[in-house]
């Protein structure tokens, strides 16, 4: 009990290196009583590398225990709680979480939450729902700055051929920003090694010239 108490107390230590070691210890010796605290700490932990270790520690526990706790976080008012829960669900990969990846999360006003939702969605989506997910993701084309746009393009590309109808519809969208993002995403699908910066700039030129795609 004392060892357990020390580990849980370590997750609250002011020193991030102590919190990191505590999260590692909890993941190394999983215990059902740790789960709630790990999820709670994930929602407020300021350091990325500690959050990553908290996620790893959660993946070391049975999904039957972690997934329900994480799903509860998806309704939190705290953006980090939602984002980190989505990230951890994507690492666990339990498809029972799929119904909770709602359209509201996919379109969350916070870019980090939305990006986490996109990544989780493409991991958890059943094959039969890929086209519907592609339509929901395509509705976000043109959103945000380059990092957010790249995240969305990668999520769409991960859906493979299932995303093509929605993507091609977006390539004729009246908004030139949406068209350019859709064209750049198509280029990444055809050439995964292409840099996104190059793809988006080329796509902007295509849009400016009134074209849509070089795809035959």
Query: Please, what's the b/e burial string for 30-63 (b: 16 or more CB within 10 A of its CB; e: otherwise)?
Result: beeebbebbbebbbebeeeebbbbbbbbbeebeb
Pair of tokens at residue 190 = 């055809």
Write down the pLDDT at residue 20. 96
pLDDT of 142 reads 94
Q: Which domains does the chain have, with CATH numbers?
A: 1-124 (1.25.10.10), 131-216 (no CATH)
Give the separation between CA 45 and CA 41, rounded to whole angstroms: 6
**Rounded CA separation 159/146 (Å):** 20
Residue 8 confidence (pLDDT)? 84
Q: Which pair of tokens denotes residue 47?
A: 């350091």
- Site of tokens 């958890």: 124
- The pTM score is 0.87
* Tens digits of pLDDT across the chain (216 residues): 455 677 788 999 999 999 999 999 999 999 999 999 999 999 999 999 999 999 999 999 999 999 999 999 999 999 999 999 999 999 999 999 999 999 999 999 999 999 999 999 999 999 999 999 999 999 999 999 989 999 999 999 999 999 999 999 999 999 999 999 998 898 888 877 666 665 566 666 666 656 554 443
φ/ψ of 165, rounded to 5, equals -60, -45
Residue with tokens 């916070």: 110
Which own/partner pairs from 70-74 qualify as long-range (CB within 8 Å, at least 24 positions apart)?
70/39, 70/97, 71/97, 71/100, 73/39, 73/42, 73/43, 74/100, 74/102, 74/105
State residue 213's pLDDT score: 43
pLDDT at position 195:
62
The pLDDT tens digits of the residues spanning 53-80 come to 999 999 999 999 999 999 999 999 999 9
So what's the pLDDT on residue 6? 77
DSSP, residue by residue, 18-79: HHHHHHHHHHHS--GGGHHHHHHHHTT---HHHHHHHHHHHHTS-HHHHHHHHHHHTT-S-H
């Amino acid at each position: 009990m004392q060892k357990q108490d020390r580990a849980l107390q370590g997750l609250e230590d002011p020193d991030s290196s102590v919190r990191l070691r505590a999260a590692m210890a909890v993941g190394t010796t999983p215990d059902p009583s740790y789960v709630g605290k790990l999820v709670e700490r994930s929602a407020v932990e300021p350091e990325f590398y500690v959050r990553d270790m908290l996620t790893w520690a959660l993946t070391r526990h049975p999904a039957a225990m972690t997934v329900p706790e994480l799903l509860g976080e998806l309704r939190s008012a705290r953006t980090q709680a939602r984002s980190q829960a989505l990230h951890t669900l994507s690492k666990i990969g339990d498809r029972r979480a799929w119904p909770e990846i709602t359209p509201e999360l996919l379109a969350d006003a916070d870019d980090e939450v939305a990006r986490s939702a996109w990544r989780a969605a493409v991991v958890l989506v059943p094959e039969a729902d890929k086209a519907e997910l592609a339509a929901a993701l395509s509705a976000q084309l043109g959103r945000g700055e380059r990092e957010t746009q790249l995240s969305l393009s990668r999520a769409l590309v991960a859906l493979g051929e299932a995303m093509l109808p929605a993507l091609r519809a977006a390539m004729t969208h009246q908004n030139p920003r949406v068209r350019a993002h859709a064209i750049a995403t198509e280029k990444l699908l055809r050439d995964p090694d292409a840099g996104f910066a190059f793809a988006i700039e080329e796509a902007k030129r295509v849009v400016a010239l009134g074209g849509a795609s070089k795809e035959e």
